[in-house]
Structure 1
Amino acid sequence: MRYRGRFAPSPTGSLHFGSLVAAVASYADALHHQGNWLVRMEDVDEGRTVKGSADDILHTLEALGFEWDEPVIFQSQQKARYADVLAWLAEQGLTYACSCSRREIAAHATSGIEGPVYPGTCRHARIEDPTGKAIRLRTDAEEICFEDRIQGRHCQILSRDVGDFVVRRADGYTAYQLAVVVDDADQHINRVVRGADLLVSTPRQIYEQKRLGLPHPTYAHVPLARDEQGRKLSKQDRAHPVSAAAPLPGLLSAWHFLRQAPPPSDLDNPREFWKWAANNWSIANII
């Protein structure tokens, strides 16, 4: 099966160094395996989207020599598709409406891997009108395990570690956890290389794939770039934006962060860099 990878930034600001690290890793891995590489804009949460940032990110990627093989997909344009999937899940009895506030959940929840474990308050509430309510996916005690190409074996029992989780938010937006699963399946993505901040949510995505009868991609979660205080670099704090005017230094910095072999000193431009990187990329160096 031909390799199909992707880079999926959120258009909430300019491309920063942390996102560049993930982009370099995913693109280099695709080039090394002579596969396809796609770009998808994860703007499912339209309230956080910054006008013009998608174009800015794409312009920066182009300046850095990235080339994607298919048109860019925007999650905000996939609402009907997500609605169809949500309707199917509801028909199977796999979801339910939830009216709980965060305060109510915290008051009765145990601590999980990403905060309070939803205690199942609305699981049997029979809320007839889901308008203005979150929609949760029922979980069970099955252990979900996967072998990450960088982080190794990772397992969770969702009912214990997360609880029934949100697949459609109370404000009507599809939750990221569902959107990313649908998008990866629709785009036939079979290799996912992304930041390690998404490692703990991967079992939820695998669980959804199982419930929807979708294939499971292989995953590789690269280490996060952090600031001097140990915080993950993010667009929200305007962390280390990448310059389209000086593309090669940014690429080399990301390449070095990923512990790859030093490239020749005479590389003059991104095109030369990527030609060399395709043959010299080794994901084993990150481990």
Structure 2
Amino acid sequence: MADGAVTRFAPSPTGLLHLGHAYAALIAHREAAPGRFLLRIEDIDRARCRSEFETAIYEDLRWLGLDWPDPVMRQSERMAAYRDALTRLTPLTYPCKCRRGDIRAALSAPQEGAPLAGPDGLIYPGTCRDRQMADAGPDDVIRLDAARAFDALGIDHLSFRDAAIMPGHDHILSRDQFIAGIGDVILSRRGMGTSYHLAVVVDDAEQDISLVTRGKDLFDSTWIHVLLQKILDLPTPLYQHHRLIRDDAGKRLAKRDDARAIRAFREDGTSPAQIRDLLGL
């Protein structure tokens, strides 16, 4: 779909890859041709990542017939790059000491109505928005002040293009829609020094990714990434949000669903060609 694109498959080594991962990897590999397909290991959550799962990622993907250039980018080795990006964002950020229970309680107050959830979880009510970065403590997360970000950029909306959903047309989200439906997202989580959103934006730019292929469940997260790309003066790639692979009940596959792990199919004698057929590829 994007001739000569640079794509990537970026799993987290927190469990075995399943059929949904196989589909995502195969789509990214296919869409790169004749460009470059890259593998990236997203291992910023050191408490949950395991070396044996990272080894299994390499083995399962090679069994599927995929290849990629070495060395593989590992997010755990790029903390300095994330710190640099976070420093650049300092004028638009604030430290937050609220826990999930605090946020849930604030959103459940009678005057607030029912809690609202966005792509980054419960939409933060802004309790700590007046705190200064100079007051940040070791147990704080760092949040982006979305309103300040839009004002600093001098824009009232965001846009990006998707090669699968309304191809050839811009998807548009207004400033007010972002603030109401996404809010002040976390850029640095406790004990991590970064977040998925910040790391993926910095890494996609570093690797010159021109086409991001991923599941439709991440479509709304793309608005966060586009905003960060604009603030950090990074290019916005073309996106392609593909269908999700679901179980018999229609539920999206999770890593705990070992029955649909690629490793289980391998051990049962399933061939890579049969996996492709099973996935409609």
The aligned counterpart of 1:162 is 182
RMSD across aligned positions (CA):
1.9
Paired with 2:14 and 2:193, the residues of 1 have a C-alpha distance of 16
| Alpha carbons 1:42, 1:75 under 8 Å: kept | yes
Asked if 1:240 corresponds to 2:260, the answer is yes
Return the match for 2:132 from 126, 138, 145.
126
The aligned counterpart of 2:244 is 224
State the SS of the aligned residue for 1:182. helix
State the SS of the aligned residue for 2:231. helix
Asked if 1:7 corresponds to 2:13, the answer is no
Paired with 1:149 and 1:83, the residues of 2 have a C-alpha distance of 32
Bigger CA drift: 178-187 or 150-159? 150-159
Bigger CA drift: 231-240 or 107-116? 107-116
Paired with 1:172 and 1:28, the residues of 2 have a C-alpha distance of 33
Paired with 1:223 and 1:73, the residues of 2 have a C-alpha distance of 26
| Alpha carbons 2:212, 2:239 under 8 Å: kept | yes
The aligned counterpart of 2:199 is 179
Paired with 2:49 and 2:216, the residues of 1 have a C-alpha distance of 22
Percent of matched pairs sharing the same residue: 38
Paired with 1:101 and 1:235, the residues of 2 have a C-alpha distance of 26
Q: TM-score, normalised by structure 2?
A: 0.84
Runs of 4 or more, structure 1, over 4 Å off, are none
Q: Figure out how many residues of one structure are paired with residues of the other and give that number.
A: 252
The aligned counterpart of 2:60 is 60
**Could you list the per-position Cα deviations for residues 137-173 of structure 1 after superposition, in whole angstroms to 9, with x for gaps in the alignment?**
1113633232211122544332111111001012234
The aligned counterpart of 2:37 is 37
Paired with 2:136 and 2:18, the residues of 1 have a C-alpha distance of 42
Structure 2 spans left out of the alignment, 5+ residues? 108-114, 151-155
Structure 1 spans left out of the alignment, 5+ residues? 261-287
Using the TM superposition, give the Cα deviation of residue 2 of structure 1 relative to its aligned residue in structure 2, in angstroms: 4.7
Paired with 1:125 and 1:186, the residues of 2 have a C-alpha distance of 32
Q: TM-score, normalised by structure 1?
A: 0.82
